[in-house]
Structure 1
Amino acid sequence: MAEIRGFRAIRYHLEAGDEPADLLAPPYDVIDTEEQDALYAGHPANIVRLVLGRQHDSDSAENNRYTRARRHLMDWLATGQLRQDVRPGLYAHQQTFEDAQGNQHTRRGFLGAVRLATYDEGIVLPHERTLRGPKVDRLELMKNCEANLSPIFFLYDDPEGKVDALLEAHRVQEQELDVTTNTDGIRHRLWPVFDADAQAEVAEILKDAQLLIADGHHRYETALAYRDFRRSVAEDGGSDQPAPYDYVMAFMVNIHDPGLQVFGTHRVVHGVADFDASALLKTLEDSKLYDLQPLAKELVDTPLELELKLAEAAEDAPSFILLSQHLEQPILVQYKGDESAPIFDADTPEQVRRLDVSILHEGIFDRIIGISMEAQAAKTNLRYIKSLEAAVAARKNPEHQLVVLMNPTPVAQVVEVCQSGGKMPQKSTYFYPKILSGLTINPL
């Protein structure tokens, strides 16, 4: 049984001259060094100092990016830069953005607190594998700050859109935060719903829902680890009543929301010994499992046309496009096998075998190119690029042996995989846009 409730969010209090966009930041795992520097320079209280503080050569056990994050959080609360709401709330959140074709979309959701549940309880369902490193990092940050600084992104099933309609009915314009981020032009609107009856109605609508993790697998598993840690050190040995750390801050979106967009994440192969692009094509052809179609070389100058051809091919079969400086033309690859083809591990569920990312990672990266599943997980020979234009341009880098352009994984397939108990390769889904850090903080 899913349990959703409001929480007393910590939020920025804007001083005269403060621009909200200068205080907020993308999720920590998409911030590179250059953007980190820009966020630091933009405002002395930017949330980046909490979610991804700088590391210094002089760092020690007593003074490091985690302890500094805690000091910043305490200082900003003490000075009033951050303030905690006096009542629990759900926080309706809308993001308006354009896709690559210039079409405008608005994704609707809300921020709330979700009771933590292990995967085997069947309430929260994952779809991707996780790595130990990011979880160690996030757990240390949680232990120091005692807060959820960024939400987990969940999907839920509400065919009639009851939750969004209810939150829209409680919209108060005077309480609304409205900010457009400079780097991407995305408009973010957020307003609190403090009405206890409305919160109870949302909880009732979703009490039987299964919650699918769209983004934030590492942070969700970190929240479980933090809950267990807090229980283990509780002075009273634990209580029958749920504690704040039994919940995690979540951004919740209806899988039927028309603004729910999934984009492709493209792959780059590098550092593989004795890699031969032409030999790869011959192996694919000889296997009889793949249909290879050379495309006009001029298409690399119009990436959107490449994307269109890839999308059209996917209507018939799982497909991807291969690019390389060692290939004269882009190569469209369509998979002609079925779920029984001998390219999958024995324990790979049928729902996972239908995915182009699984066919690529298990059938080609692992079995043909020789990038083991362990190497894939460690990103030893793989890089990931979200931008289509950047991926097409990446083929010119002499370090890059192969670029693979990918279609997005449809939401319906993500749901099927979650319900099957299977796991997709990492970076199989890219739900756009990301949720800003700093809109709300959930104290634990």
Structure 2
Amino acid sequence: MAEIRPLRAWRYNHALAQQIEVLTSPLFDVVSAKQREALYRNPFNSIHLSVPTGEHAHDKAAELLHRWKNTGVLVHDVMPAIYVYYQHFSLAGQSRQYCRKGFICNIKAYDWKENVVLRHESTLPNAVGDRLALLEKTELNVSPTHGLYTDPNHELEALMDEAMKAPLYETEDYQGVRDVLAVIQDANAIKKFVQVLSEKQVILADGHHRYESSIAYRKAQTASNPDHTGQEAYNYHLMYLTNTESEDLRILPTHRLVRDLEGFDTETFLEKLSEYFNFKTIEDACMMPDIIAGKKWAFGLVFNDRAYKITLKPDKLSEIDWNFPQAIKELDLTVLHYFILEKVLNIYRKEQTRSPHLLFERNFTECVSQVNKGLAQVAIITSEVSMDDVKRVCALGHTMPPKATYFYPKVICGFVFSSIMQKEFESIADEVFTI
């Protein structure tokens, strides 16, 4: 199963790291234009490596990385390590405090067909190409993707908790999340991490484009290396791993906004929907997330003058003719995308990811605001996807509908960087960690 190994991370030098909060940045695919503008003003912020700008941006990132290494902005850790990463957070409207526990390591960039790392969503070619170009130029994993392993015995948590008694960094990020990083360099402890993951498959939760760029890079390097062994630096990818059995692993819903759809008429839309769904009028649209939570095939419809809870008529499920296994057809989001988007709104499956008439929005309040301002014709409110659903889909070798999951919180960029230059990747201690 999954082969992981510790890494000798590149990290900001001690003086700079005293203000680590001004050096970290959101991931490339979630950072907003306004955030970028502010972060670019700091010449040492990690965004210059993760989201370089201008002409020949990837070359500039490689040049900057070379300069930072040579001038000591970044320092190479001497010993290979597992980096423990905890994220403390709360959710809107809740008093409960969560702590998502995980660790950062290198993992072999398995191809999907090897059935070791499993994906649950599809990727867009353009985004993969951008990440691959950056990887080729810098030979650096700038930020970890997020993977999930299943360990009901929680064998690694005690080791991680112990490491957290002496954290390296602690900061509050752009999400209001408290991010804490610690390090494990003890050989026996690291071997335990390697052993536990050697028996596991990994579900890729977040970072599909970055992971696929590592697969593509590995394949290209393998093809050009007649002496390929499988242990070269280019075979590996940086990943943050968390346990699916943790109660603090949160998946937030992503709602759908329909806008600028020519000929859209509310009454006609509702009439067509009534063929497939039962309706209940909701007086207070703000209660919609609570009303549909946990209800099978239930969704909210929010217009500027009314709101409904709709529930699929059970006998209609058999009408789904997409070539999916039954378990995929039974997903709430499959029901939404098939009946509401395709059958009623004529936004067909192949168009749904890129349709200009379909927006994906996590913030429920923003959905209501968009409708009330007339910027969206209807908001389709969804419930969160369960971890069991994600596992079920991955086990079948399929992917979920677009924007099915939003694992919260997102990891941040800037705590550790992982080189896949062979001379920087190797360590005389590597043999100690093999099992």
| TM-score (norm. length: structure 1) | 0.90
Query: What SS is found at the alignment partner of 2:190?
Result: helix
Cα deviations across residues 87-129 of structure 1 (Å, max 9, x unaligned)? 1111111000111123210000000111121222221111111
* RMSD between aligned residues: 1.7
Using the alignment, how far apart are the partners of 2:46 and 2:351 within structure 1?
33
State which of 284, 295, 298 in structure 2 corresponds to 1:319.
298
Sort the Cα spacing of 1:118 and 1:160 in 2 relative to 1 into closer, same or farther, 3 A.
same
Query: What SS is found at the alignment partner of 1:257?
Result: coil
Cα deviations across residues 38-95 of structure 1 (Å, max 9, x unaligned)? 1112x2111111111223xxx2xxxx22111112211211221111111111111100
Query: What SS is found at the alignment partner of 1:83?
Result: strand
Per the alignment, residue 98 of structure 1 pairs with: 90
Within 5 Å, which residues of 2 pair with 1:271-310?
271-285=260-274, 287=275, 289-296=276-283, 299-300=284-285, 303=286, 305-310=287-292
Within 5 Å, which residues of 2 pair with 1:40-59?
40-41=40-41, 43-55=42-54, 59=55
Question: Shift of residue 425 of structure 1?
Answer: 1.2
Q: Is the 8 A contact 1:170 1:193 kept in 2?
A: yes
Higher alpha-carbon deviation: 242-251 or 75-84: 75-84
Query: What SS is found at the alignment partner of 1:130?
Result: coil
Using the alignment, how far apart are the partners of 2:244 and 2:16 within structure 1?
39
Q: Is the 8 A contact 2:347 2:355 kept in 1?
A: no
Q: Is the 8 A contact 1:106 1:259 kept in 2?
A: yes
Higher alpha-carbon deviation: 274-283 or 134-143: 274-283
Q: Is the 8 A contact 2:320 2:329 kept in 1?
A: no
Per the alignment, residue 15 of structure 1 pairs with: 15
Sort the Cα spacing of 1:37 and 1:103 in 2 relative to 1 into closer, same or farther, 3 A.
same
Per the alignment, residue 74 of structure 1 pairs with: 66
Using the alignment, how far apart are the partners of 2:71 and 2:363 within structure 1?
40
Question: Shift of residue 399 of structure 1?
Answer: 3.6
Per the alignment, residue 87 of structure 1 pairs with: 79
Sort the Cα spacing of 1:339 and 1:163 in 2 relative to 1 into closer, same or farther, 3 A.
farther
Identity fraction in percent:
29
Instruction: Return 5+ residue gaps in structure 2 as ranges.
Output: 421-435
Q: Is the 8 A contact 2:317 2:330 kept in 1?
A: no
2:125 aligned with 1:122: no
Higher alpha-carbon deviation: 72-81 or 415-424: 72-81
What amino acid maps onto 2:6 in structure 1? G
Per the alignment, residue 196 of structure 1 pairs with: 187
Per the alignment, residue 430 of structure 2 pairs with: none
Query: What SS is found at the alignment partner of 1:15?
Result: helix
2:198 aligned with 1:211: no
Q: Is the 8 A contact 1:116 1:247 kept in 2?
A: yes
Query: What SS is found at the alignment partner of 2:34?
Result: helix
2:337 aligned with 1:348: no
What amino acid maps onto 1:46 in structure 2? N
2:384 aligned with 1:408: yes
Using the alignment, how far apart are the partners of 2:321 and 2:394 within structure 1?
18
Per the alignment, residue 368 of structure 2 pairs with: 392
Question: Shift of residue 172 of structure 1?
Answer: 5.0
Question: Shift of residue 355 of structure 1?
Answer: 1.6
Question: Shift of residue 241 of structure 1?
Answer: 4.7
Instruction: Return 5+ residue gaps in structure 1 as ranges.
Output: none
Q: Is the 8 A contact 2:85 2:182 kept in 1?
A: yes
Query: What SS is found at the alignment partner of 2:372?
Result: coil
Using the alignment, how far apart are the partners of 2:347 and 2:133 within structure 1?
31
Higher alpha-carbon deviation: 79-88 or 371-380: 371-380
Using the alignment, how far apart are the partners of 2:385 and 2:126 within structure 1?
26
Per the alignment, residue 440 of structure 1 pairs with: 416
2:314 aligned with 1:337: yes
Q: Is the 8 A contact 2:258 2:378 kept in 1?
A: yes
Using the alignment, how far apart are the partners of 1:390 and 1:407 within structure 2?
16
Query: What SS is found at the alignment partner of 2:15?
Result: coil
Q: Is the 8 A contact 1:375 1:381 kept in 2?
A: no
Sort the Cα spacing of 1:176 and 1:280 in 2 relative to 1 into closer, same or farther, 3 A.
same
Per the alignment, residue 395 of structure 2 pairs with: 419
| TM-score (norm. length: structure 2) | 0.92
Sort the Cα spacing of 1:324 and 1:84 in 2 relative to 1 into closer, same or farther, 3 A.
same
Query: What SS is found at the alignment partner of 2:352?
Result: helix
Sort the Cα spacing of 1:223 and 1:241 in 2 relative to 1 into closer, same or farther, 3 A.
closer
State which of 236, 240, 254 in structure 2 corresponds to 1:265.
254
Within 5 Å, which residues of 2 pair with 1:217-228?
217-228=208-219
Question: Shift of residue 418 of structure 1?
Answer: 0.7
Cα deviations across residues 340-359 of structure 1 (Å, max 9, x unaligned)? 521340x2122221221111
Per the alignment, residue 242 of structure 1 pairs with: 231
What amino acid maps onto 2:11 in structure 1? R
Query: What SS is found at the alignment partner of 1:378?
Result: coil
What amino acid maps onto 1:82 in structure 2? L
